[in-house]
């Protein structure tokens, strides 16, 4: 801020909190919204099994609708434009039994809205994402035991029609073991090359060091005493995974079997505990160690992070996994199953794990990919999980955490205002979005919410008639926000300033009486 008045005007006049349009073309719950990078188009996914593409002109209008039921889809759930807006990734759920977890990813051309390819995706809440202009990431799940599985992440070429013995259209990226009924879900990609030119810095000391040309107004602290207090260690903790040490895993596994056969294991282990213990020992001896030096030091680095939800204690997602994607892994060229591996490198390890201590229900990246925002519903502070199929109860309040992906530290106190009510087994994803100055999220309390990224304050509540599932800022105009709800509508919100500007541009209709008088004179 240059002055207090400018800052007040920004907070008062530029928040997209005025409803200007309600789109009602969907006939079932609207689950997700995504803008093209140019801001000219956006896509919506719904329980009515269509993906609709809208034109963002003076008044938003429907441009195209694709029905996915002919492909045996139950509904569409997620979409994402590629970097040049020429292709649209659409993720959906297959028709099947209630507990079915299979889904599919479709790629649609924006030139003529034709379906280019379809890729299997399991579990369906992996969603999928673009790695670059022509390659996308999908998932697969292989059961090893009752509560142990293996997640495989695949790199797929969007143009599956290529048929050549010399050109692959798919390549295995990573293979990760899951313990205690956990699985990998909600994948996204962060571009490390953009970290050194962020839109804003959320750490005050770093802001101060970077602000040599203009003054910085610190309006965030509640008091001078609070500012003077030493900072507590950030929670949730970011854990760097240690290398396996101590007793070799093969000896540990053999020792466990010997103890079981000779009755030296006590108290008696349950079948679930035994499976988890064996899996932990096995994965120690069959996992490739983490990549060294995860944090990027070169601003021109082409490294990207694969970010996803995972877990280690129960099936509900309670950890964020981070895995570095190296430049040579960003193409489908080479062996389909990836590089050759030794027998002790059967699985890939995670480079970092962030433990949230709660059920993760949403994630979003800032426009500069520097900060990761995470919606979660907290577990009780001292809870103990003895059965992975019985996760702890979760809070109604939703916490919004903020992590700096350059330092791998939490940089903000959790934001609060929004709420959710569904229990663990029915909990669903609530999508959030981040602009230069604001962060927005849906909620189960029939409202969307907007916070200021600088000051941790809730600025606006946006009314719907049912659960708000998704929000989306225009990437070129943060004073335009969309919200999608179970009430089957998409609402369009603009700032008071944008509304005034748009009204001034519209030609005012001449009054009927004035027109009649002018006609009489002539």
Could you give the maximum distance between any two Cα atoms of the chain, in Å? Answer: 112
Nearest to 410 by CA among 376, 443, 380: 376
Cα 408 off chain centre by: 17
Q: Between the CA of residue 309 and those of 151, 362, 398, 408, what are the distances in Å? A: 12, 9, 17, 16
Quick one: pLDDT at residue 344? 59
pLDDT reported for residue 286:
73
Structure tokens at 98: 């209630």
pLDDT for res 276: 76
pTM to 2 decimal places: 0.83
Q: What is the CATH number of domain 41-197+301-429?
A: 2.130.10
The pLDDT of residue 303: 82
pLDDT value, residue 336: 72
**Residues in the chain, pLDDT under 50:** 204, 207-246, 299-300
Rounded distance, CA 55 to CA 20, Å?
Answer: 16
Provide the residue ranges of all domains of the chain, joining segments of one domain with +: 41-197+301-429
**Residue 209 pLDDT:** 46
- 168: nearest Cα among 134, 129, 127: 134
**CA-to-CA dists, residue 210 to 1, 88, 195, 200, angstroms:** 14, 38, 14, 10
pLDDT for the residue 193: 79
Q: Give pLDDT tens digits for 477-486.
A: 999 999 999 9
The reported pLDDT for the residue numbered 229 is: 39
């Amino acid at each position: 801020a240059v002055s207090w008045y400018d800052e007040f005007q920004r907070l008062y006049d530029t928040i997209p909190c005025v409803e200007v349009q309600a789109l009602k073309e969907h006939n079932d719950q609207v689950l997700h919204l995504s803008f093209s990078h140019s801001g000219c188009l956006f896509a919506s996914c719904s329980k009515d099994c269509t993906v609709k593409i809208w034109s963002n002109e003076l008044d938003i209008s429907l441009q195209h609708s694709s029905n996915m039921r002919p492909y045996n889809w139950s509904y569409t759930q997620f979409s994402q434009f590629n970097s040049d807006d020429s292709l649209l990734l659409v993720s959906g759920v297959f028709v099947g039994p209630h507990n079915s977890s299979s889904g599919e990813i479709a790629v649609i051309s924006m030139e003529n809205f034709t379906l280019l390819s379809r890729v299997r995706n399991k579990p369906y809440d992996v969603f999928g994402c673009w790695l670059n202009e022509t390659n996308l990431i999908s998932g697969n799940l292989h059961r090893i035991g009752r509560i142990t599985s293996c997640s495989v992440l695949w790199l797929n070429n969007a143009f599956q029609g290529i048929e050549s013995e010399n050109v692959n259209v798919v390549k295995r990226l990573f293979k990760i073991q899951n313990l205690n009924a956990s699985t990998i879900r909600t994948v996204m990609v962060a571009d490390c090359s953009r970290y050194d030119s962020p839109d804003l810095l959320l750490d005050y000391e770093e802001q101060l060091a970077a602000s040599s040309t203009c003054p910085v107004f610190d309006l965030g602290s509640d008091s001078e005493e609070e500012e003077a207090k030493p900072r507590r260690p950030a929670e949730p903790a970011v854990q760097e995974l240690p290398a396996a040490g101590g007793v070799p895993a093969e000896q540990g596994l053999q020792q466990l079997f010997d103890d079981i056969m000779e009755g030296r294991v006590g108290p008696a282990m349950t079948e679930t505990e035994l499976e988890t213990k064996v899996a932990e020992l096995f994965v120690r001896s069959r996992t490739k160690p983490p990549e060294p030096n995860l944090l990027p030091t070169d601003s021109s680095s082409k490294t990207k992070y694969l970010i996803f939800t995972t877990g280690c204690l129960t099936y509900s997602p309670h950890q964020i996994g981070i895995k570095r994607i190296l430049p040579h892994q960003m193409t489908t060229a080479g062996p389909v199953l990836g590089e050759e591996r030794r027998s002790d490198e059967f699985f890939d390890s995670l480079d970092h794990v962030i433990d949230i201590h709660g059920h993760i229900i949403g994630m979003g990246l800032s426009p500069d990919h520097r900060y990761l925002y995470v919606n979660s519903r907290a577990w009780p502070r001292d809870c103990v999980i003895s059965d992975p199929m019985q996760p702890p109860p979760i809070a109604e309040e939703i916490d919004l955490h903020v992590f700096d992906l350059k330092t791998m530290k939490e940089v903000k106190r959790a934001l609060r205002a929004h709420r959710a009510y569904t229990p663990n087994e029915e909990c669903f994803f609530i999508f959030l979005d981040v602009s230069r100055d604001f962060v927005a999220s849906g909620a189960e309390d029939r409202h969307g919410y907007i916070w200021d990224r600088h000051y941790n304050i809730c600025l606006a509540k946006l009314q719907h008639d049912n659960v708000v599932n998704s929000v989306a800022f225009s990437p070129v105009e943060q004073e335009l926000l969309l919200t999608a709800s179970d009430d089957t509508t998409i609402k369009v919100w603009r700032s008071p300033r944008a509304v005034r500007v748009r009204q001034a541009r519209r030609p005012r209709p001449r009054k009927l009486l004035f027109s009649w008088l002018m006609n009489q004179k002539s």
